[in-house]
Amino acid sequence: MENDTSIYLRVIALRAKVNENATVDRIHIRRGTTLIFDKDVNYTNMDIGYVETIAPQSMSQGPQLGLAMSIYVKFLTGQPRGRVEFQGAGAGFW
C-alpha cells in the first residue's frame, strides 16, 4: 500500500444517544452487498461517541458502491419507552 494511490476506508464513526430502555448491540458496515465490518457492542443509557479504526478497505477498485451502516437496537420494557437518537455517522478515507 506504500506506493498505492487508491483511496481506503479506514475509520467509521457513530454519534447517538440511547436511553435506559434500549440497547445498541451490533454495528456493521456493507459496501454494496459485501459485509466489510461487523462488531457486537453493548450501549445502554449513554451518549455514544463510537470511533473504530478498521482494516483498510479499498474504495478504488471496480464500480463505486455505496457504504451502509446498520445499527441493531433492542428495545426493552419499562418507562420511559426505549429511545435511540441518531446524531450522525461518518467514515474516514485516505
pLDDT of residue 68: 93
Residue numbers of the domain that contains 29: 8-93
Do 14 and 85 meet the contact criterion of CB atoms below 8 Å apart?
Answer: no
- 68 Cβ neighbours under 8 A, 6+ residues apart: 29, 30
pLDDT of residue 69: 96
Q: Is residue 76 part of a domain?
A: yes
Radius of gyration of the chain (CA): 16
Written as tens digits, the pLDDT of the chain (94 aa) is: 566 678 899 999 999 999 999 999 999 999 888 899 999 999 999 999 999 999 999 887 655 778 999 999 999 999 999 999 999 999 999 8
Residues 70, 71, 72, 75: what is their CA dihedral angle, to the nearest 10 degrees? Answer: -140
Domain count along the chain: 1
Q: Is residue 2 part of a domain?
A: no
pLDDT of residue 72: 98
Angle at alpha carbon of residue 55, lines to 50 and 56, rounded to 5°: 110
